[in-house]
């Protein structure tokens, strides 16, 4: 399957996605966050002008805030704030869907690292909070909204995960299990993660018969060097289009969710997303539908524990300058103090 020459030749069932390798910013004030929001809006306009057939433009994690890990109220955003409002207006003005990243204020704890998919009418169709912050480097509150899936352009099913999320195969499996045909992965990764980035994008696609569209921030802020590396992978695990390290390049591809749906229906060999819940269906009617995985039972029961648990050296963020937290996590969002 081709990419339609990067989306230049759009088929009736195709969804053209652009991945923006946005130049890494370094804002430290509300005004600078607003200025960076305007840079993103200008890039939305570039996407529409350069590729009239584009359905969705995707911006990386940290595209408004950079990699400073600043948790001060001065630079944080909210769903009803001016930055998100401006992004919604830009999607309407340019008649395009957009995927965006914000560091979201959280009165109950540390900020959330959140992602939004906004349609061409300016409506938020998907709202996600990063489940797996990149510990011990990132200070963000663990996400509490699960992994939502939404209807996207041309009727495709979209999911969004953020950066380190993609290193956990359970994340991609959950996206596919909830119906996602295209999984977006936004990131701020730097060069040491390049190999892991590529193999997980491919494995996440192949193991779930799902297309993946992934992009990092790009360039340098004077301290960190993000890698760009936009990447589209087909449901058979084969890369369709790969970007480079050129900042502000928009890497495009035509994705075919209709072929994902076809493969999920008709593949026998390696239809792993189906076979996971129907083990050995050649031998037993319908296959075995039990859960033979100890770690799943233990996690659900709140007793997840590794054989080498006591030997793990990094269990908080002190190695990266963060104070050890004092409160326990509550999925309801109501946090309680440690009572040791």
Q: What is the pLDDT of residue 3?
A: 78
The reply to whether 163 belongs to the active site is yes
Among residues 91, 163, 207, 218, the one annotated as catalytic is 163
As a whole number of angstroms, the distance between CA 22 and CA 246 comes to 9
Instruction: Please write the tens of the pLDDT for every residue from 131-141.
Output: 999 999 999 99
- Phi and psi for 311 in degrees, rounded to 5? -95, -10
In which band, very low, low, confident or very high, does the pLDDT at 337 lie, cut at 50, 70 and 90? very low
pLDDT score at 336: 41
Measure the CA–CA gap between 208 and 270, rounded to whole angstroms: 9
Greater confidence (331 vs 7) lies with 7
pLDDT of residue 2: 65
Please write the tens of the pLDDT for every residue from 214-239.
999 999 999 999 999 999 999 999 99
Is the backbone of residue 62 left (phi > 0), alpha (psi -120 to 50) or beta?
left
Sheet with 231-233, edge to edge strand ranges? 149-151, 157-162, 182-187, 211-216, 231-233, 239-242
Domains present along the chain, CATH in parentheses: 4-275 (3.60.110.10), 294-337 (no CATH)
Query: Is 130 designated active site?
Result: yes
Q: Which of 130, 138, 157, 174 is catalytic?
A: 130
Residue 338's pLDDT band, with cuts at 50, 70 and 90, is very low
Give the mean model confidence (pLDDT) for residues 286-306.
Answer: 98
Confidence tier at 335 by pLDDT (50, 70, 90):
very low
Round to whole Å and give the CA distance between 116 and 105.
15
Alpha carbons within 13 angstroms on the beta-carbon side of residue 235 total 24
* Residue 95: both structure tokens together: 């008649």
- pLDDT-derived band at 332 (thresholds 50, 70, 90) equals low
Rounded distance, CA 37 to CA 89, Å?
12
- Catalytic hit among 23, 61, 181, 249: 61
Q: What is the mean pLDDT of residues 121-135?
A: 98
Mean pLDDT of the chain: 95
**pTM exceeding the 0.75 threshold for the entire prediction:** yes
How does residue 17 score in pLDDT terms, banded at 50, 70 and 90? very high
| Nearest-angstrom CA–CA distance, 175 and 207 | 12
Query: How would residue 191 be classed by pLDDT, with cut points 50, 70 and 90?
Result: confident
The angle, 0 to 180 degrees and rounded to 10, between the axes of the packed helices 30-50 and 82-93 is 10
Q: Which pLDDT belongs to residue 34?
A: 98
Q: Poorest-confidence range of 40-49, 62-71, 244-253, 323-332?
A: 323-332
- Annotate the chain with three-state secondary structure: CCCHHHHCCCCCCCEEEEEEECECCCCCCHHHHHHHHHHHHHHHHHHHHHCCCCCEEECCCCCCCCCCCCCCHHHCECCCCHHHHHHHHHHHHCCCEEEEEEEECCCCCCCEEEEEEECCCCCEEEEEECCCCCCCCCCCCCCCCCCCEEECHHHCEEEEEEHHHHHCHHHHHHHHHCCCCEEEEEECCEHHHHHHHHHHHHHHHHCCCCEEEEEECEEECCCCEEECCCEEECCCCCEEEECCCCCCEEEEEEECHHHHHHHHHHCCCCCHHHHCCCECCCCCCCCECCCCCHHHHHHHCCCCCCCCHHHCCCCCCHHHCCCCCCEECCCCCCCEECCC
Q: How confident is the model at residue 268 (pLDDT cuts 50, 70, 90)?
A: very high
Grade residue 13 by pLDDT with cuts at 50, 70 and 90: very high
């Amino acid at each position: 399957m081709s990419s339609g020459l990067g989306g230049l030749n759009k088929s009736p069932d195709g969804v053209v996605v652009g991945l923006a390798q946005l130049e890494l910013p370094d804002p430290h004030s509300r005004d600078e966050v607003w200025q960076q929001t305007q840079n993103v809006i200008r890039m939305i306009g570039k996407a529409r002008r350069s590729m009239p057939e584009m359905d969705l433009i995707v911006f990386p994690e940290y595209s408004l805030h950079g990699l400073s890990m600043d948790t001060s109220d001065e630079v944080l955003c909210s769903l009803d704030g001016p930055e998100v409002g401006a992004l919604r207006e830009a999607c309407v003005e340019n008649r395009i869907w957009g995927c965006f990243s914000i560091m979201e204020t959280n009165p109950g704890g540390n900020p959330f690292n959140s992602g939004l998919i906004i349609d061409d009418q300016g409506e938020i169709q998907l709202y996600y909070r990063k489940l797996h912050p990149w510990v011990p480097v990132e200070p963000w509150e663990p996400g509490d909204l699960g992994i939502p899936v939404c209807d996207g352009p041309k009727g495709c099913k979209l999911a969004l995960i953020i950066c380190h999320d993609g290193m956990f195969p359970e994340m991609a499996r959950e996206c596919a299990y909830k119906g996602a045909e295209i999984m977006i992965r936004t990131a701020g990764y730097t060069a040491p993660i390049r190999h892991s980035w590529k193999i997980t994008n491919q494995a996440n696609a192949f193991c779930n018969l799902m297309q993946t569209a992934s992009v990092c921030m790009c360039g340098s802020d004077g301290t960190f060097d993000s890698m760009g590396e936009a990447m589209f992978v087909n449901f058979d695990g084969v890369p369709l289009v790969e970007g480079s390290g050129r900042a502000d390049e928009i890497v495009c591809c035509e994705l075919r969710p209709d072929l994902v749906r076809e493969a999920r229906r008709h593949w026998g060999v390696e239809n792993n997303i189906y076979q996971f819940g129907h083990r050995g269906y050649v031998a037993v009617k319908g296959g075995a539908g039990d859960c033979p995985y100890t770690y799943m039972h233990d996690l659900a029961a709140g007793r997840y524990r590794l054989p080498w648990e006591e030997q793990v050296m990094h269990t908080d963020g002190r190695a990266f300058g963060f104070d050890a937290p004092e409160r326990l996590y509550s999925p309801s969002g109501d946090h309680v103090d440690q009572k040791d």
